[in-house]
């Protein structure tokens, strides 16, 4: 391993303390360190800064330091480059950012020595009629936004009509995103290895419509037939949309590679993060 890129959340209180320490530790291991440029980062040498585009070209691994949102942002930058992504949790919940502060340096030592495993995570591709495409590791959401007024939604699966309903919105989720917004809206939890996508309506105005699981190979078409709303990708990219707006969701032609260096498995994460172990 020659080069590691770091993407951080500068708003996290621990960032200004941990980031310089991590940079120094890696440099002592003869690893070339590059840090995604953020205006708020004055705690490190600015000569280390690189642009999002340079992550794909100059890094063998990328560390996302912050929370799950930081990891989702890093995944958007690296896209189909197949660069393994290391999640370091500086927050509280963190389903995706596996490594906590107490395990940071032992975990990095394992990774540098090649003692880690890779998890492949499905990515969804969402395409507008104009051809513009967005990619989501967690979810794609069509929501009523700040208007407070319900919207009308139509769904087709492989060109076959499925549902037409009024609701606050709709979530199309990957298995990775099944523990995020979809779960909060009543959707099921899927193991990350399941090749599927989840449709979860948000407060639908019908008792007969529930969250559904589809094969990842299905093409899902969504149309806004009433009202105005917002189109949201991984909680980070938002587009204001009007009536007749439509998009299709399919499996992306690449996956995100997450580095796992601890002994935690999916079920331990569920027990600890969702407090399934009891009080």
Q: Which residues are the active-site residues?
A: 68
Q: Which of 185, 183, 213, 191 is nearest to 274 (CA)?
A: 183
Whether the Cβ atoms of residue 49 and residue 36 lie closer than 8 Å to each other: yes
Q: Cα torsion for 83, 84, 86, 92, to the nearest 10°?
A: 90
Distances from the Cα of 220 to the Cα of 10, 214, 249, 254, angstroms: 36, 9, 5, 18
The answer for residues whose C-beta is within 8 angstroms of residue 71's C-beta and 6 or more apart is 64, 85, 87, 96, 97
Q: Which of 200, 177, 203 is nearest to 72 (CA)?
A: 177
Whether the Cβ atoms of residue 215 and residue 192 lie closer than 8 Å to each other: no
Q: Which pair of tokens denotes residue 170? A: 């709709």
Q: Which of 28, 100, 91, 88 is nearest to 62 (CA)?
A: 88
Start-to-end CA distance of the chain, whole Å, equals 42
Whether the Cβ atoms of residue 249 and residue 222 lie closer than 8 Å to each other: yes
Cα–Cα–Cα angle for 249, 163, 148, nearest 5°?
85
Q: Which of 85, 95, 69, 78 is nearest to 237 (CA)?
A: 69
């Amino acid at each position: 391993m020659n080069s590691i890129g770091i993407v951080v959340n500068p708003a996290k209180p621990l960032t200004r303390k941990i980031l310089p320490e991590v940079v120094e530790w890696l440099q002592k291991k003869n690893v070339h360190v590059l840090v995604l440029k953020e205006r708020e980062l004055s705690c490190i040498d600015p000569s280390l800064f690189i642009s999002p585009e340079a992550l794909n070209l100059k890094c063998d691994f990328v560390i996302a330091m912050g929370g799950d949102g930081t990891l989702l942002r890093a995944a958007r930058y690296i896209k189909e480059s197949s660069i393994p992504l290391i999640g370091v949790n500086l927050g509280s919940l963190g389903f995706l950012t596996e490594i906590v502060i107490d395990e940071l340096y032992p975990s990095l030592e394992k990774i540098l020595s090649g003692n880690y495993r890779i998890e492949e995570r499905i990515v969804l591709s969402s395409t507008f009629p104009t051809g513009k495409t967005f990619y989501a590791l967690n979810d794609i959401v069509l929501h009523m936004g700040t208007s407070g007024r319900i919207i009308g939604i139509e769904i087709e699966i492989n060109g076959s009509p499925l549902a037409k309903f009024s609701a606050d919105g709709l979530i199309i989720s990957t298995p990775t995103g099944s523990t995020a917004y979809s779960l909060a809206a009543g959707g099921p939890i899927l193991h990350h290895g399941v090749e599927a996508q989840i449709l979860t309506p948000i407060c639908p105005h019908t008792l007969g419509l529930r969250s559904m699981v589809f094969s990842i190979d299905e093409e899902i078409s969504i149309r806004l037939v009433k009202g105005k709303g917002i189109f949201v990708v991984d909680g980070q990219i938002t587009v204001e949309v009007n009536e007749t707006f439509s998009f299709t969701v399919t499996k992306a032609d690449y996956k995100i590679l997450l580095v796992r260096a601890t002994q935690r498995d999916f079920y331990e994460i569920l027990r600890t993060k969702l407090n399934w172990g009891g009080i």
